Amino acid sequence: MKNPPRERPVKDERDEMIDRDARNWSLELMICATQVLTIICAVKGNSAWKGSLSLLFFGVAAALIYKYKMYGEKPYLYVGLVFLAIGAAFIAWFALTA
């Protein structure tokens, strides 16, 4: 006797919401870990704090630019671009001095 074909579950709105929430939680955890890493590196005198701090600025920039994309309000874009430039400056500083 042949088994019937296995049905694949269909992704619904609840699944999409769970996926989105999981990404949000993982991003929040990574931000927290990056902050701790930045502080540890700065306290220990390790120059890696510059690179890790740049990641925080890139994260803030991404969030603000996404809000601009959703709301269409220019201040989100302008502040996001400032944070992006600061993040790029920190990572360049780290790359040139490390």
Within a domain: residue 85?
yes
Overall domain count for the chain: 1
Q: Which residues of the chain have pLDDT under 50?
A: none
Burial zone of 64 (CB within 10 Å; 0-12 exposed, 13-18 middle, 19+ buried): buried
Q: What is the CA radius of gyration of the chain?
A: 20
Predicted local confidence at residue 8, as pLDDT: 62
Integer Cα distance of 16 and 86 in angstroms:
33
Q: Which domain does 84 fall in, by range?
A: 45-98
Within a domain: residue 89?
yes
pTM over 0.95: no
What's the distance, Cα to Cα, between the start and end of the chain in Å? Answer: 67
Which H helix or E strand runs over 93? helix 74-97
Predicted local confidence at residue 12, as pLDDT: 84
Within a domain: residue 1?
no
Structure token digits, residue 13 = 């709105």
